[in-house]
Structure 1
């Protein structure tokens, strides 16, 4: 049975006066004084976090793409056919963004993430004292709320750097203008929230699917591991590699998650149509590999990703009114995959460039995301409810490999974690051959191999720009080979040159107008 998608409950504000006669009692919304009066209110407050804040960035329009794609656009490795009218794509690729020309677009991201923070703050303050809510229930909801507050701040600090640190609900007109906190202070709150979610012992150690599609211990652990890895890189360089390794290792050793394997024929050869990647494409989600995913259900919240699985010129062949290659791989991205050795780069694995009509004729087109191809949606219903992975087990394995190598050395354990991801992709090599190719590398050489797999494996999880930010290294690709160069001073696929300033986005001008305490990011003062 298709999972239940939670409903966002809006909490309205009520203006009061001294006179009971003039007191208004709204009929279409709940006043603050009426909320958190029973357990349903507490659940509604937390349920809202599953669809607002950061999760909302994963939805979008057919022309614009989703806002989570903005980082990959900035990398220059992803294109959008409609960038002629979607100017945010042009500004990202050409690095021409500033506080004014991107105020509306980046302001929308800023407001949505702070909406998530605000709703989380509300839940964190009032859930523990909600009447009729058992202590175990309250602690579980509190852990979920603190997870989501951390998640929203984690994206805010990577998009914009230091941001206002708000930890209480806005219930008065006091302290409206909050200054930007130091990056380290933002991360300190993120870690505090996630450590609570991981260590409180109330989030079940199971799959998201096995927990009614709610936040689990594994989801919080995966995010904490990635946060520690990010803190170890730029701009903090705080060396939390051992902490990242500990969190990733605990999730791996927990035995809940695993990589999906390929189906093979009698001779042991991979069956391409039944590869792990095609299993991911065909399934609603892979419960043992997709640790955290964004839910879709037709009629409630329909996925737009199937519309982004074809270029626009194929639209007449589809049930959709229009398709758009909004996450089109550039030639530079495609060159990251070996055309012979890497299964992900083969036709109809990660990408596709043709389909066959019912009459047997083949239609060819430019490369587009095959992982988002939903045949029923494309040719029958024009609606898709396939869920979108946000954090996967492959990501955790790669976090573990990198963090262990940089805290303990290139151990057999680190090699094993990287080889699990690479051996699945390198379909013509055995796991032993892959491990042998990694043995004897220095930590820096080994980590570069991890970075290569992060680019190739996680491209549909939108991590590429965040990896460039934290490593300050840009992937230069050629026929399956990847070399890393300093991002500052490098030209991307659209011949735009990165400077240090481009590694953060401008604080939206509208937000600086609303809050005079905000200071612009360097390089965006005009």
Structure 2
């Protein structure tokens, strides 16, 4: 936790005014009062949370290691990174050798990045209520947004590391900085309190994220809350009463009526998945990380083309397929009926340009393919969606089935997502196949749909963590998926999962600097 003091001091300096850049006052003496003594300073503090989102740079894919958020895909054994020879995290994840020393710098970046956002949120929550020159409505809105981001980052930390230090006040001195780990249940309680507070103020706007200036909406807060309750219902807490809470939170988004699934156009080139690829303004968008080609570009387009392929006119010095679904992952899809696994939908394995065909011999993410960035500017501009309405429907379907049974409502929500993918199958046929299933059979159909629909939303490892079940596809019958106990199962790279693999180790640097911390078992 000592590192948090340094991060906090640096963030104060970054966010402070440039007017006094040459002043003699040492930078480490900048006070919090100086930082947010004006409404503009307070707004800037909260606005900065949007760029960092879930830890600074967590979704950024610069370099050869892929984005930090991709680590779960590598841990699942179903995604590969062509750059893993130069950045080791992909390789050690597949080898299940994610020790605290081996990946100390990597995990320490996660830890510090998430706590930096939490620290800024804590500062806003302490000082904005007493600020003058700002309306009470604006104060409340900024406080609700700060609570959302504190909840989002603690949710990530508790999933990654289990028990973590729970800090809800700004770190403003060296006193009491050696904070012990707080049990997982208490961390979740704080997350829920933050989200309920943000929702209960009735200050967050209704409607989709992009229609509200890309600021946190009530739907975004309810979606995160639904996800939190769903995760709590599974391992390690197994608080199954929270399935009902997850269902209620997801229903709040659905019944508000502001969101909807993007629908297909007249051709496969105008499919819903290609619309999602090329737009940041649709009503399926619940919450995401914004990018701007001129200010803060998205580097994902450069990791959508395998390094061995070099199309003429490409504007990146080097490309690589940093989040490659291995062949076994493609078997999760019915390759005859499911549009998502057709070429140039969620993924692609070939494309044509200027009359020349390029065949990869492997699959690559197409959802992040931006032709203008790849061949013109070298700077991507599409957002990364952390939550989509499709996930809300899937959370609702699973949570309702677990808490109320396989009702027509649960079937309808799952059919919404599946029928869009099975675009040539009559919806009534899909609903009929789902209606007669047992609770467990139906829930497994939801898990399958999460694998397929959310393939590039980085959910696979969280699902394995909470269910303790590992998906196994069938080469002979693509689309058929079985779920087996993850502990004792091979990860497709010749390694076998043990219990301790389901949490990451605490960074070694944090253990060394904070004697109050204890390492996770097995590391």
**Normalization by structure 1: what TM-score?**
0.93
Q: Which residue of 1 aligns with 2:339?
A: 343
Using the alignment, how far apart are the partners of 1:204 and 1:9 within structure 2?
33
What SS does the aligned partner of 2:215 have?
coil
Q: Does 1:46 align with 2:46?
A: yes
Report the alpha carbon displacement of residue 212 of structure 1 after superposing the two structures with TM. Answer: 1.4
Change (3 A) 1:48 1:362: closer
Give ranges in structure 1 of 5+ residues lacking alignment.
Answer: 1-7, 15-22, 265-270
1:54–1:151: 8 Å Cα contact kept in structure 2? yes
Q: Which residue of 1 aligns with 2:116?
A: 115
Change (3 A) 1:226 1:12: closer
Q: Which residue of 1 aligns with 2:282?
A: 287
Using the alignment, how far apart are the partners of 2:308 and 2:211 within structure 1?
41
Change (3 A) 1:188 1:361: closer
Q: Does 1:373 align with 2:374?
A: no
Change (3 A) 1:124 1:314: same
Q: Which residue of 2 aligns with 1:19?
A: none
Q: Does 1:220 align with 2:216?
A: no
Report the alpha carbon displacement of residue 366 of structure 1 after superposing the two structures with TM. Answer: 2.0
Report the alpha carbon displacement of residue 33 of structure 1 after superposing the two structures with TM. Answer: 3.2
1:105-146: CA deviation from partner (whole Å, max 9, x where unpaired): 001100000101111110111111111111110000000000
2:61–2:68: 8 Å Cα contact kept in structure 1? yes
1:410-457: CA deviation from partner (whole Å, max 9, x where unpaired): 000000000000001112211111000001111111000000000110
Match of 1:249 among 218, 242, 251: 251
Q: Which residue of 1 aligns with 2:3?
A: none
- For 1:419-498, list aligned pairs within 5 A: 419-478=415-474, 479-498=478-497
- For 1:178-197, list aligned pairs within 5 A: 178-197=179-198
2:46–2:146: 8 Å Cα contact kept in structure 1? yes
1:53–1:114: 8 Å Cα contact kept in structure 2? no
Q: Does 1:31 align with 2:14?
A: no
Using the alignment, how far apart are the partners of 2:9 and 2:345 within structure 1?
40
Using the alignment, how far apart are the partners of 1:222 and 1:53 within structure 2?
15
Give ranges in structure 2 of 5+ residues lacking alignment.
Answer: 1-7, 15-22
What SS does the aligned partner of 2:470 have?
strand
What SS does the aligned partner of 1:296 have?
coil
Report the alpha carbon displacement of residue 91 of structure 1 after superposing the two structures with TM. Answer: 1.1
Using the alignment, how far apart are the partners of 2:32 and 2:307 within structure 1?
47
Using the alignment, how far apart are the partners of 1:390 and 1:168 within structure 2?
27
Q: Does 1:296 align with 2:291?
A: yes
Using the alignment, how far apart are the partners of 1:11 and 1:369 within structure 2?
35
Using the alignment, how far apart are the partners of 2:284 and 2:27 within structure 1?
45
Using the alignment, how far apart are the partners of 2:89 and 2:472 within structure 1?
24
Using the alignment, how far apart are the partners of 2:497 and 2:159 within structure 1?
17
Using the alignment, how far apart are the partners of 1:286 and 1:279 within structure 2?
10
What SS does the aligned partner of 1:460 have?
coil
- For 1:359-398, list aligned pairs within 5 A: 359-398=355-394
Report the alpha carbon displacement of residue 389 of structure 1 after superposing the two structures with TM. Answer: 0.8
1:9-36: CA deviation from partner (whole Å, max 9, x where unpaired): 965379xxxxxxxx95358995323122
Using the alignment, how far apart are the partners of 2:339 and 2:53 within structure 1?
35
Using the alignment, how far apart are the partners of 1:139 and 1:157 within structure 2?
27
Using the alignment, how far apart are the partners of 1:9 and 1:363 within structure 2?
50
